[in-house]
Structures are given as structure tokens and as C-alpha cells.
Structure 1
């Protein structure tokens, strides 16, 4: 028996699904508020353990985007001395990295929604691998090459986040997507916290070049794992995973889902239609998507303002800390993010099932037998309130984010025991991941079939806002101190918070208009 829950956008996601609604209707009329799913086609052929393996590989690959950026931070003074440049000149390599990090997923993500996840993953990791070799061997009189190779490095690493989100949307139905997104999101979110710790240890003991050699090895390991084991998941190629992909897309050791793939040649007419190229920037014209992306980006920029200043603030407030101790302070916020990713993902799935069961109960009361509407139809896009299922707990998560950030700033400003800012940073990490899990999951739900593209847009917005924050946080801290700085930044988010209320109430109307336009285009094409 399949786990309760059917994707809210089933008419777009499901491949060849059909059910017998009569028995289900009888059960609902008899007082059962949830339909029988024995005959509902599963969203994916993969077992739970196989899904977790796929998500773990995607999280490993997605780790490289922020990890590659932040592992570099502790070595900036050393690299500046080696290249005979100022710290500001080396900081410029961080800025250009963030710019390319925001732009490159638009290219890779769009290709992944058209040509598949595996080749794009392998291409990104190959670019990252080669750029890290170049950075490890770069002569110290070639500052221009450092700038160029950091851009190439960003182009290879940044897009793995969009690809990972696409993989999860391929294999996980909405009722379970929150859990998988929560676990996967730990990779790209913990990177900024773990990267500086490892970078500091490597730079101090083995020199700054060892940072890039480490990335060479790590990217090679990830490349080999994907090459050997990761199946192609793009639904336009493999449907629910049961359709064998083109030969080029097979993993070298096809053990995941292999026994459940069809052994007979697939009729081309039953293969899901491959999506035509769509400009991902069009997604910015969708009001609900734009508002969610902007709000998500603001949360991320405040998170970046916290992490990028940890070294400076802890060093000035707690002078007894050495470089290794300061690096370990990043683990507090990283631990909070890990806890938040696991817990809030499961809560998201619970919320989806709760709203779904409420809809079934409502249907059981209001159903008109003459309409011949199946109970499972309530989980379709036109009937299911996906905004309600995802955003109900957002006020709690957002409130925790605001309070924890303010407490973090004032404990540093007051010079309290070091336990104060460390404990509050745990809650900051938890709240940041909770807020971003909610918005990330919802935007993927809103544009099925374009998960990698919309995640690329998300990456572009949050990296752009993060780059702005990097350039202004030090002047703000110098002018206001950490206490008022970390009142101001979440305060800006509070001013913008009606965005989420607006999306909650008006979002379904925008979604209905998009659906009507899409159906009109499909009708015109069919005629």
C-alpha cells in the first residue's frame, strides 16, 4: 500500500496513472476521509532507501556551491600576502565568485530541465575539478588568473544546488518532498559553516594551496559516485523511473531502481514529452514566485551577514580565542541548521498530509454524487491549497529567526559569556533553514517540471542579495555595532514580511490564472 498522499499537481507529474474512483467514493461516503491508494500509481519506483541514497548524493554535490566559496575565507590574508595584494583585492575574488554563483545556475538549470540531471552534474563537477587544479598550481604573480579561475570555479560548483533540487522534485511527491528537501538543504546550508573550519585547518597546517587540492579530491570523489551510481531522474526521460533512459544516461553500475525498470522497449508514444526550452527568467514574471524568491533572498542575506562576520566579531569580543577556536564557533550555527533541516522537513510533510485530510473530510461532506468527482481530485492543483499546506507555520519560523538574530547581536555587543552568542546562533541556524525549507519547497510545488530552473532563479536572487550584504556588512557593523546591526537587518525582513501573508491569501488566484492560460495554450495547440 502506498503512503497516503497524492501529488497536488498530479495531472502534470503522473505518468500513465489511473484509478478506480467508485470504490473510493463509497468509502468516503461511509465516513472514511482518506481515499484508498492501493490502486494509485506511485510517484516514483524507488524504494525509501534508494530515495535517501539519491538525496544524499544530491546533497553531497550541492555542498560544493557554498563550501567552495567559504573554505577560502580563512586563507584570504595569507593569499593576499602571497600575491602581494591588499585584502580588498582578494575580497574582490569573493565578490566575482558570488556574482557568477548567482548567474551560472540559470544556464545549467535550464539545460538540466531539458537534457537531464546526470550529464549536467558531471559537467559541473568536471569544471569544478579542473578549475581547482588550476587554482592549486597558479603562480603568485598572476592575480588576473586567480580572478578568472575563481569565476570558473563558481560556474562549476554553484549549479549543483539547482540540479539537486531538480532531482528531489523528480523522485519525491509533494506529500514527502518536505522531508527530502530538509535533508538535502543541509548540504548547501551547512557549507558556509563547515567550510571556514576546514579551510582554516588546511591553510594553517598545509598552506593555502592545500585548500584547492582538497577540493580537487572531493570533487573527483563526487564525480565518480555520480558516474557509477546515480540514475537519471528527469521525468521527461524516465517518467517515474520505470522507463529506461537513453543509453548515454545509464550509470556505470545501475543498481538503483534497476530491477523495477521495464525490460521491454518503451513505446515512444508513451514516453513523457520532453519540455521545450523555456527562458527561466520568465519565472520572475510570476508574482507569487517573485515575492517568495525575494523574501527567501532577504533571509539568506541576513544569514550571510551573521556567518561572514563570525570571525571578526568573536575575535574582538573574546580575545582568548585562537584561529582554530574561532573556526569551531561556526559549528554552532551549522548544528542548528542540521537540526532544522531534519525537523522542519518532516513537519512540512505532516502539514501537507494534515491539509490533505481536511480536504478529504470537506469533500466527504460536500460531495454531490452527480458531479462524479473522485476524492483524490482534491489533491490536484486546481483544488488543493498548497500555500496553506506550506505556509501555515511560517509565522513561527520567521518570529524565531527575528528573535534569535537580535539576541545573537546583543550578546556579542554586551560581551556576555561566549555561550550566549553560540547558543543563540544555534537558533539562528535552525530558523534560517526552517524559513528557507518552506519557501524552497513551495516554489518547486508551484512550477512543476521546472524545479531546476526555479531553484536557479532562487540561487541568483539570494546570491545577488548575499553579495550586496558582503559589501555593506562591515561598514554597518563599524557604524552601529553588532547589537543594533542585528536589530536592523531582521527588522528589514519584518517590514517585508507581509509578502508572505499576501502570497498565502492571493497566491491561489495567481496560480489559477497561470493554469487557465496554460490550458488555453494547450487547447489552441491541440486544435
Structure 2
């Protein structure tokens, strides 16, 4: 019997393989949206794991902050820079990675960037200089941040619009749950092996993710022959790649995009404000929690994220399908925004409950109810707005998500610096109340998007080029 070499073991029609496609068990195909359901689930799993890596790495040192202060005889502010510079790298780098992935493919960019991150985190682990650790934490972030934007592009490559909401819900769950699981793992490693173990663990984890990408993530970007760009000299290619991200910032001039990004980013920054204050709250009287116990407190948020991810993505897809049925199959991404109302109330309520119950030093479990509600609301919001941002400019999903990462991580970096100072000066209750007020006021951005949606749709002349 003759084997048909146009099909791989997963029964998908193959496209001609390049060197970078070897070792992958799922072949690159002409139409990535025709991958089997099983293949798509595998691809989403790998992308979610990749998206999880950078936020996880950003927070894994939280339980080790006091040890780093003692180790390097420095201040809390100096040690906090290890997270601040990481978030800055996480904000900026995806702009370049999304452009490079469009030029060279999703798969090689993900693998190469993660290997860069592995090298950087190993340098951090063996370093005896805090400034050197800070510099290479930035490089680590530049590497592992690629999945933040490229991952959204992969999902857009393999799913039709009415199926993307659920897939993006899982993808975004990886980006949000990382900062919450990291302190649990980091606290355990800190107690058992010391702060360097956190960084060595991160090197192993990032390398394993890169290898899983090699084995299980096929190239999903398929360009028509007509789109092949003319060959450039090395210097011309470097100049093109260096300047390409700046053109992506123009998406922030589209009102519906910048308003949606602003709302999500304020809520996301509140997450990092919460993350940085919880260790201080639960290590003090009357709780006196250990590093491991503090890490376990983040489970409450994780439960909220898991529920919000599943429910939010399905609500978003269902709303879009409902619109299609009444509009002759037309797809209008902004329809998804109408499901954001399910989560907007939980975010400020959760922050206020957590902040004031911690302030009043109630039974340790009570404030975590607020943390659960905050996590539930944040995921319901993001699993609605994320697919909207991926679809709103056809073909430019990765670039719009890169803009989102820029804004939200810059605000989160500010939050990690300001939050401990604010909590120390005005207390947890008032600080969380201020954040709740900001999140509540930011809902007006979404109100404007919904209110002006029809007008903007008629006048829309925005950029339509690919990522």
C-alpha cells in the first residue's frame, strides 16, 4: 500500500516544509483554519502555556523580596526594580515580536525568543550583583514576552471569528493566572532552596516551553504568493524590522481600540497593585503567614479567573453568533463588547471587599472572597474585550494585542512601584477603594464605545493591512 505523503499522522493536508518546520508533529498546511479540532486544542494549549510564561516569570520573585534585600544589603524599592523592568520589557517587546512574526513566521520567532529568555534568566540565577540581575531580568522579559502578541495572531490564524472568543479566553487566562500561580511556586522554592532556585526553575520551565513549541506548534501564518515581499539587503531588512513596530501604534488612534485598551489596562494594573500588596498584608500581624502560605492565598483569584475564562469566552461567542443569525451572517466584532457588563461590577466590589477586610484584620479567608470576585470580574471583562481587539482590524490582531500589552504593562509597572508606598501611607482599605473608583470610572470608556459604535462603523476608514 502506498502512503499519501500529502497527509501527516493528524490527517491534515501538508504544505511544503521548510527547515524550521521539521521536528513538529503537526504539519504546516495551506489553510490553518482547517486543522482538526484536536490539533487546534493542542495549538491553543501550547500558546496558552507560552503566554503564561512571561507573567509567571514577572511574579516568581515576589516571595523572595525580603531575602534579596538581605542578600544584597539594599532597599525594598531597589529589589522591586527586578519586577518593574520586567514589566517594561513585557510592555515594549511584543510590538517588535508581532511584526517579526508576520515577516518570518510565528513558530521561529516564538522558539528563538524563548531561548534568548533562557540564557538571560540563567545569568540572573548565577549573578552576585543586583544591578546585573535587573539588566538581565529586562532581557529575560524581552524574550519570553513574544507569546503575548504572537499567540493572539496564532489563534486568529486557526479560528474563524465566531470560535475565537472561547480560544482567546483560554489564551488570556494564561496571561492572567501566571502572576497568581508564581508566588505559590516561588514561595515553596524560596523556603526549601532559596531565591536562586526560583530563577533556575524559570530557566528550566522556559526551555521546556520552547521545546514543546518545537514539537507541537506548526507554522500557522500562510501568506499567498502574491504577498511575498521583494528580497532586501541585510541592512535594509534590519532597518525595516527595527522601524516596523512604530507603524502599529497608529491603531491606538482608533477610538474604539484605545478606549477598550484603556479600560482593560486600568483593571490589569489593579491586578498588579493587588499582587504587590497581598504579601505585605498577610506577612504582618495578625496573620504572620509564611512565604508558602502567602502564595496559597492567590488560589482565590485563580478560581475566579478559571470560571470567568470559560463563561466569558462562551458569552462573547454566543453574542456574535446571535448577531450573525439576525444580520445575514455578517460579523461585527464590536457586538462582543455588549457582554462586558457581566463583569464590570465584580472588579470594584472585589477590590473594596479585599482592601477593607484586610485593613480591619478580619479572619484571613474573608478578604480572599473579595480577591475571588475581583478575579472573576477581570476575566469576564478581558475574555470579552480580547476577541474584540483581535477582530476589530482584520488581519492585524497580533499588532492590536501588542498595543494592549504596551499600555497595560506600562500601567502595571507603575502600579508595582506605587502600590506598596500607597498601602503603607493611606492603608489597604483606602488604596483599594481608590483603585475601585478608577476601575468604575473607566467603565465610561466602554459606555462610549457601545454608544458611538454605530457611528464609528459607518465612518470607519481605519487601516486594514495585515499585522
The equivalent residue for 1:344 is 312
RMSD: 2.2
Cα deviations across residues 110-138 of structure 1 (Å, max 9, x unaligned)? 21123211011012101111111211222
Alpha-carbon shift at residue 408 of structure 1 (Å): 1.7
Alpha-carbon shift at residue 338 of structure 1 (Å): 1.6
Q: Answer yes or no: is the 8 Å Cα contact 1:159–1:456 preserved in 2.
A: no
Cα deviations across residues 88-108 of structure 1 (Å, max 9, x unaligned)? 222122222221221111111
Q: Answer yes or no: is the 8 Å Cα contact 1:43–1:173 preserved in 2.
A: no
Specify which of 145, 170, 185 is matched with residue 132 of structure 2.
145
Matched, 1:323 2:291: yes
Q: Answer yes or no: is the 8 Å Cα contact 2:282–2:288 preserved in 1.
A: no
Q: Answer yes or no: is the 8 Å Cα contact 1:112–1:120 preserved in 2.
A: yes
Specify which of 141, 146, 164 is matched with residue 159 of structure 1.
146
Matched, 1:54 2:22: no
Residues 289-300 of structure 1 mapped to structure 2, 5 A cutoff? 289-300=257-268
Q: Using the alignment, how far apart are the partners of 2:179 and 2:213 within structure 1? A: 23
Alpha-carbon shift at residue 43 of structure 1 (Å): 7.7
Alpha-carbon shift at residue 317 of structure 1 (Å): 5.3
Residues 184-333 of structure 1 mapped to structure 2, 5 A cutoff? 184-236=171-223, 268=225, 279-316=247-284, 318-333=286-301
Cα deviations across residues 206-265 of structure 1 (Å, max 9, x unaligned)? 12111111111111111111112211111436xxxxxxxxxxxxxxxxxxxxxxxxxxxx
Determine helix, strand or coil for the equivalent of 2:251: helix
Q: Answer yes or no: is the 8 Å Cα contact 1:113–1:449 preserved in 2.
A: no
Q: TM-score, normalised by structure 1?
A: 0.76
Q: Answer yes or no: is the 8 Å Cα contact 1:114–1:274 preserved in 2.
A: no
Structure with higher Rg: it is 1
Q: Answer yes or no: is the 8 Å Cα contact 1:101–1:158 preserved in 2.
A: yes
Q: Answer yes or no: is the 8 Å Cα contact 2:266–2:411 preserved in 1.
A: yes
Cα deviations across residues 267-297 of structure 1 (Å, max 9, x unaligned)? x45xx66799561111112121111111111
Cα deviations across residues 286-315 of structure 1 (Å, max 9, x unaligned)? 121111111111010111111221111122
Residues 340-379 of structure 1 mapped to structure 2, 5 A cutoff? 340-359=308-327, 375-376=328-329, 378-379=330-331
The equivalent residue for 1:24 is none
The equivalent residue for 1:494 is 440
Cα deviations across residues 359-399 of structure 1 (Å, max 9, x unaligned)? 2xxxxxxxxxxxxxxx44x33xxxx3x32x21222223101
Q: Answer yes or no: is the 8 Å Cα contact 1:125–1:220 preserved in 2.
A: yes
The equivalent residue for 2:88 is 99
Determine helix, strand or coil for the equivalent of 2:33: coil
Matched, 1:171 2:146: no
Q: Answer yes or no: is the 8 Å Cα contact 1:300–1:466 preserved in 2.
A: yes
Give the aligned length. Answer: 423
Determine helix, strand or coil for the equivalent of 1:392: helix
Matched, 1:76 2:65: yes
Which blocks of at least 5 consecutive residues in structure 1 are unaligned?
1-40, 238-267, 360-374, 522-527
The equivalent residue for 1:128 is 117
Q: Using the alignment, how far apart are the partners of 2:371 and 2:108 within structure 1? A: 38
Which blocks of at least 5 consecutive residues in structure 2 are unaligned?
1-29, 231-239
Larger displacement relative to structure 2 (276-285 or 106-115): 276-285
